[in-house]
């Protein structure tokens, strides 16, 4: 088995939205904002080579939206998914599976390329794309709060391609990739739990976007059910700490991975490092 980080670039999001009720005097020390209170966040994906399967977890923001749309997020060092995978040492045509943790635009936008105004195609033409039925319904019949995060041009072409399949809670993607379902951020988000040479790598998606979000009460304003996020975080971080999991962060602009330890302040990062 081999794990490889795929860097698709950075975007900026409002610091207050990213840290919810945490005061700016506190969160600004964790992630320094610019003059508009915007903080920089990574869009870090992961390739898992597991036997004869090459699994890509999430696909970044893509390039289909308008200049005005992208202007809201001040994109930096954006790389096409194809180039990012090439930089990781693979060809995009080698990808056999794309696991989408959820269908917000910064996690699934790179899945679909625009051919022209009325035509789209999948970026990974030889891959099966994986979501789950509960989240798919949530994303294709969006509530008003999340509607602007579920963009139809990122989602509907997946179904039209014939490459979309659903995986349900309790099933594994591969023998070495289990899935934890959480619903505080958005309904039925999937966290890949990877058995890597006897160690566990947990891909945190938007449950814990960064090291700075490890404190239980540090919950994003974007979360649809913040009290549920609190419960999910406490349970999963406790499990991760007790079993020495490595957390892999999708959005932390600096820190790629960490292990955990119990402190007088609660569970915090122990060792911070890049995935090797």
Handedness of CA 134, 135, 138, 143 (dihedral sign): positive
What separation in angstroms does the CA of 31 have from each of 14, 18, 40, 207?
11, 10, 8, 17
51: tokens are 């036997």
In the prediction, which pLDDT does 276 show?
Answer: 75
CB atoms under 10 Å from CB of 127, counted, come to: 23
User: Is the domain covering 2-273 a CATH 3.60.15.10 domain?
Assistant: yes
On whether the pTM is more than 0.95, the answer is yes
Q: What are phi and psi of 3, to 5 degrees?
A: -115, 135
129: tokens are 């794309």
**118 falls in which pLDDT band (50, 70, 90)?**
confident
Radius of gyration of the chain (CA): 18
Asked whether the beta carbons of 260 and 267 are under 8 A apart, the reply is yes
Name the residue ranges covered by the structural domains of the chain: 2-273
pLDDT one-digit tens code per residue, 151-209: 999 999 999 999 999 999 999 999 999 999 999 999 999 999 999 999 999 999 999 99
pLDDT one-digit tens code per residue, 62-111: 999 999 999 999 999 998 999 999 999 999 999 999 999 999 999 999 99
In the prediction, which pLDDT does 274 show?
Answer: 96
Query: Residue 116: pLDDT above 90?
Result: no
Torsion on CA atoms 87, 105, 20, 204, rounded to nearest 10:
-50
Of 130, 225, 220, residue with least CA distance to 169: 130
Of 188, 230, 168, residue with least CA distance to 104: 188
Percent of the chain clearing pLDDT 70 (strictly above)? 100
pLDDT one-digit tens code per residue, 28-38: 999 999 999 99
Can you tell me whether residue 121 is helix, strand or coil? strand
In the prediction, which pLDDT does 9 show?
Answer: 97
Can you tell me whether residue 276 is helix, strand or coil? coil
């Amino acid at each position: 088995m081999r794990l490889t980080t795929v860097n698709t670039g950075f975007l900026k999001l409002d610091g207050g939205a990213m840290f919810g009720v945490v005061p700016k005097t506190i969160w600004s020390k964790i992630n320094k904002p610019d003059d508009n209170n915007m903080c920089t966040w990574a869009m870090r994906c992961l390739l898992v080579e597991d036997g004869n399967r090459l699994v890509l977890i999430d696909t970044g923001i893509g390039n289909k939206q308008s200049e005005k749309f992208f202007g809201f997020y001040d994109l930096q060092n954006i790389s096409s998914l194809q180039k990012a995978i090439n930089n990781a040492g693979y060809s995009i045509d080698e990808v056999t599976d794309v696991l989408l943790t959820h269908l917000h635009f910064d996690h699934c936008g790179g899945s679909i390329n625009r051919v022209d105004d009325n035509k789209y195609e999948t970026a990974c033409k030889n891959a099966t794309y994986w979501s789950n039925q509960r989240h798919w319904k949530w994303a294709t019949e969006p509530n008003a709060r999340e509607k602007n995060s579920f963009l139809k041009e990122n989602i509907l072409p997946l179904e039209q391609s014939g490459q979309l399949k659903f995986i349900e809670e309790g099933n594994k993607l591969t023998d070495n990739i289990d899935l934890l379902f959480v619903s505080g951020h958005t309904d039925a988000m999937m966290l890949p739990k990877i058995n890597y040479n006897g160690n566990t790598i947990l891909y945190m998606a938007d449950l814990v976007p960064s090291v700075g979000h490890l404190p239980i009460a540090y919950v994003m304003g974007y979360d649809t059910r913040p009290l549920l996020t609190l419960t999910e975080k406490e349970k999963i971080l406790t499990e991760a700490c007790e079993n020495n999991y490595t957390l892999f962060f999708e959005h932390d602009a600096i820190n790629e991975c960490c292990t955990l330890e119990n402190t007088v302040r609660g569970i915090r990062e122990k060792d911070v490092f890049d995935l090797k």
